[in-house]
Amino acid sequence: MSVEVAPTGVPQVPSAKTLAVASCLAAAAAAVILFTTVLPAEYGIDPLGTGKAMGLLAMSRAGNAEPVPPPQGTALVPVRDGNIALYPGQYKVDSRVFVLGPYEYVEFKYHLEKDAVMLFSWSADGNVLQDFHGNPDGAPASAAQSYDKQPRRKSDGTFTAPFPGIHGWFWENPGADTVTVKLTTAGFYTAAHQFTMTGTREERHARGIEAIPVNDK
């Protein structure tokens, strides 16, 4: 819409007809946006089917839908939902340092339910014999299953428990020099157990995620 300027320099006011036409066009455009976009996205009202076509109906549902409760139960058993697995509780974190004198060994394991996941990183500052293995709940020690016995000085990875039981590492110092092993884990385990050379099994406390410092940078 152009505004004509009179030869005298005073802008010419648009006529009433021009204003009416412009107002009608604006109202029509607003109505089109209202029915095609706003009503489907905000209220789930979709008279023209454009909300469904553009995927806007989900926006209205998100605002009004009841929150889905987390999986129920006391055991940290994962419930699969597409590409994710949900648990009835939070994961835990743990960090350990084991100083192994000459020929000493230690065994450290976490209790996980079947299909529960754990992330791990460990490293040793010398040669160690290692055996990442698991013992099914209620089975004798001879039922242990080995997952990895290759010679390593460090290992970073993820683990999915093949059965409910305790899963973890045996590290042995095969030489006369002291070796330090550092282990860090996070996962849906419920307990940590340390087995010593004196035949004892001690339960160790694993920390909740509140132990993780907040990163405010």
Residues that bind another protein (CB under 8 A): 101-105, 126, 140-142, 176-178, 197-199
CB 107 → another protein: shortest distance, Å? 10
Tokens at 187, concatenated: 């996962």
Q: How far apart are CA 214 and CA 19, in angstroms?
A: 59
CB 143 → another protein: shortest distance, Å? 10
CB 199 → another protein: shortest distance, Å? 3
Dihedral (CA of 204, 201, 159, 115) sign: negative
The smaller minimum CB distance to another protein, of residues 171 and 189, is found at 171
The smaller minimum CB distance to another protein, of residues 94 and 107, is found at 107
CB 178 → another protein: shortest distance, Å? 5
Plot region of 44 (φ>0 → left; ψ -120 to 50 → alpha; else → beta) = left
The smaller minimum CB distance to another protein, of residues 70 and 175, is found at 175
CB 164 → another protein: shortest distance, Å? 20
The smaller minimum CB distance to another protein, of residues 104 and 115, is found at 104
CA 179, chain centre distance (Å): 34
The smaller minimum CB distance to another protein, of residues 44 and 126, is found at 126
Q: How many CB atoms lie within 10 A of CB 161?
A: 23
- What is the strand order of the sheet 165-172 is part of? 145-148, 129-136, 165-172, 105-112, 189-195, 201-204
